[in-house]
Structure 1
């Protein structure tokens, strides 16, 4: 459906056209007309489907009529992370340039005085993370009684991060007759209960089965070992036609170490993770977007809300701990109809995580290329390299340990990481691996909006209060 057929204003259509869009995506075509008719909405859509514009566009036209009052925002958008909140703000700036609407962004780490000044002037659109919004509300700096339009974005992510009680608290402070729009990639039971409690006769718009396979993304598993992960990754990057790529790791320390290792190997790589202050994150994202670097190593802080055009590849250096995170990680590629490729490096300890991912998505991810053949061969029978040391040990009979060393060295060529799955481990290495302790439990994920993860840098230019002429 064309945007011109949906019922948007001429000023908004002009901004959409200048942004290079003409056709509405399925979620936009399904949601926008109903929002303009003041219906409550439940929107279920995967990342990369144009979901943000599906509520930003009609909100701009709805808010064009009316006037903001001090400390009383006319509309509220709740986002789970600062990056996603900033992404929503960018959309308002881009599409609202021909409307005289004001906007404020409430996220942790930014000087509270600047945010209070913006609220005192009155804002049409308030975009906030739940923690900072509740902080300012409890200080008496904001009133929600004039907010007649509420958007809850990435509701399933809110659930993961423990924000549902905050959202319920916020909803009780808003007018009962408001319009509410709830968006989520999945609809678990707690989100369904939230919708039943706070939405009035909502229209449900679902454009894809939750967590279903995105046909635009080719997905692969790549068998490797913990020691061989970096060599396997470099081999994939070299063999694939990588235009821009995001590499996801589970731990912040892994992000830092891998980014430095790639830089030492001559790759144009950067990093983004939760220990970086927001000004550093913003600077690194800008370098990635403008092509100064073409590889971004990231923790799950960037898995949602990061929208970069033309990402050709996603590499999961670590298999994600939660299956939902897999869907959102690989969703950074294959966006807006483009084709993408996603590779997940897996070791034997990742079997359970991969099973959970495949159960969630309903898709058996194929093993990639040569690694698939090697894995099948290794499973079917011992390799030639495995048999040689066994024959040597039986023929040596009662020889001492020292006499066996030359045979062990000769039986295992070095510097062949690609062939490692087909090689027999040396006896001493077997003993070490058997004694290796189990991995520690998953640490607290670093994408949560907490007091220890502040924005200590300057406010980016596109987040300035107010836009338009």
Structure 2
């Protein structure tokens, strides 16, 4: 099946061809016809399966008819993070270049004034994070009564981040007679409840078992001591055929330190984490996409939604604390039918986290044999110990044989009191102060 078989317009097919895509992915084949027919839809798909295009493409054709009004967006896409929202906006620009559609992006970390101006002109597509959208709505800057199409993307992530109450409030302000699409990698009970409340007789599309990793990704687990992870990582970066790589860490401080360390060792590396300004994060992503850098060190803020074509490797320097984050991390490679490699460096104290991941995904991650790092010196053989545990005693004993010491007359041995043991030779040899009167040394 080709994109032309899905019922998309000629203009849209041209934009898809320009982007280098020929065949739709399973989620796109299953979802696009239903969305074009106006049906509600629940899409369950692992990350990296092309689900963003599964709703962006039909939305472009649906919105091609009609016109926007000031402060009343015609469609709304809710995303859990700024990065995901920005990524969806890029998809609309890429695939909608032959359509005259207006778009606004409502995310934190960006000047609100520019966003308000875009809304006042009227937009066909509003892409927003729940927090910023609620803020503008409460200020009276936006009306949702004209929104006929709602997309709730990464619903399980929304749940993790505590956005479900906001989503329920937003959805309640939209027209009841609307089309709603919900996408999620997993369907825990709260998401099922959300879908039952706000979707009407939805078509359910599931292209993979929830919480499974992409089969196009070769996974490996490398056992390594915690203090040798950086050495082992550099060895892997030089030894593997790494074209582009994303390296994930659990902490923002680790991201900064590791990026600095890799730069000192000559790697073309950038970083992205939650403490950075949004403009700086987007700038780093642009450098990565334009091949100014080929390695990006990231925290989990970047684990979801980064649709960067051609990432050959993902490295987990830290085993993620939450097992589902593992699936989303490694999903940055092996996208859109391509193959990829995901390597996790696991210290002994991370065994419990590894077990949780394997339980979630239902598979055991193949282990690589632990190897000494190139930077680690070969262990040296321990020097042979001298017969005496205190070699300095022998030196002092030799000093007693020197001529200058022999000029002095030897003191007579005084009798020890009854019941007192004579001091051992070691005690004499190890004494480093004036010779007590009850000890004597005979010249030999």
| TM-score (ref. length: structure 2) | 0.84
1:287 aligns to 2:287 (yes or no): yes
| Aligned partner of residue 228 in structure 1, secondary structure | helix
| In structure 2, distance between residues paired with 1:399 and 1:199 | 82
Distance in 1, matches of 2:213 and 2:16, equals 29
Paired with 2:369 and 2:337, the residues of 1 have a C-alpha distance of 25
Alpha-carbon offset, residue 10 of structure 1: 1.3
What residue in structure 2 maps to residue 437 of structure 1? none
Local SS of the residue matching 1:227: helix
Q: Could you tell me how far apart the structure 1 residues matched to 2:17 and 2:368 are?
A: 41
Match of 1:159 in 2: 159
Does the 8 Å contact 1:46/1:211 carry over to 2? yes
Q: CA deviation at 1:369?
A: 3.5
C-alpha distance in 1, partners of 2:286/2:270?
A: 11
Q: Which runs of 4+ in 1 moved over 6 A?
A: none
2:273 corresponding residue in structure 1: 273
Corresponding residue for residue 25 of structure 1: 25
- Paired residue for 1:139? 139
In 2: Cα distance, 1:190 partner to 1:333 partner: 29
Q: What corresponds to 2:311 in structure 1?
A: 311
C-alpha distance in 2 between matches for 1:245 and 1:20: 22
Do 2:74 and 2:149's aligned partners in 1 also have CA atoms closer than 8 Å? Answer: yes
Q: Distance in 1 between matches of 2:145 and 2:83?
A: 27
* 1:134 Cα offset (Å): 0.1
Is the Cα–Cα contact under 8 Å of residues 213 and 363 in structure 1 kept in the other structure?
A: no
Separation of aligned partners in 2, 1:244 and 1:98: 31
Per-residue deviation, 1:370: 4.7
Q: What is the CA distance between 1:219 and its match in structure 2?
A: 0.7
Displacement, 1:39?
Answer: 0.6
Name the TM-score, length of structure 1 as normaliser: 0.79
Secondary structure at the aligned position of 2:250 is classed as coil
Paired residues, number: 387
Cα distance between partner residues in 1 of 2:35 and 2:308: 27
Cα distance in structure 2, aligned partners of 1:203 and 1:269: 43
Question: Structure 2: how far apart are the matches of 1:285 and 1:307?
Answer: 11
Q: Which runs of 5+ in 1 are unaligned?
A: 375-384, 404-469
* Structure 2 Cα separation of the partners of residues 196 and 122 of structure 1: 31
Normalized per residue, the structure richer in helix is 1
Matched, 1:230 2:230: yes
Shift of 1:346: 0.8
Determine the C-alpha separation between the residues in 2 that align with 1:361 and 1:352. 14
The residue aligned with 1:341 is 341
Aligned match of 1:444: none
Larger C-alpha radius of gyration, 1 or 2? 2
Deviations 1:2-30 (A, max 9, x none): 11111111111111111122211110010
- Contact map agreement 1:213 1:362 (CA 8 A) in 2: no
State the partner residue of 2:96: 96
Alignment of 1:323-362 (within 5 A): 323-362=323-362
**Which residue number in structure 2 is paired with residue 49 of structure 1?**
49
Structure 1 segment 49-68 matched on structure 2, within 5 A: 49-68=49-68
**Alpha-carbon distance in structure 1 between the residues aligned to 2:30 and 2:103:** 26
CA–CA separation in structure 2 for the residues paired with 1:21 and 1:264: 38
Looking at structure 1, the residues matched to 313 and 345 of structure 2 have their Cα atoms a distance apart, in angstroms, of: 13
Alignment of 1:110-121 (within 5 A): 110-121=110-121
2:11 alignment counterpart:
11
> Which stretches in structure 2 are left out of the alignment for 5+ residues?
373-378, 394-444
Task: Give the aligned partner of residue 414 of structure 2.
Answer: none
The residue aligned with 2:185 is 185
Task: Note the alpha carbon deviations across 1:201-242, whole angstroms, 9 max, x for none.
Answer: 000000111122322111111111121111111111121111
Cα distance between partner residues in 1 of 2:198 and 2:147: 15
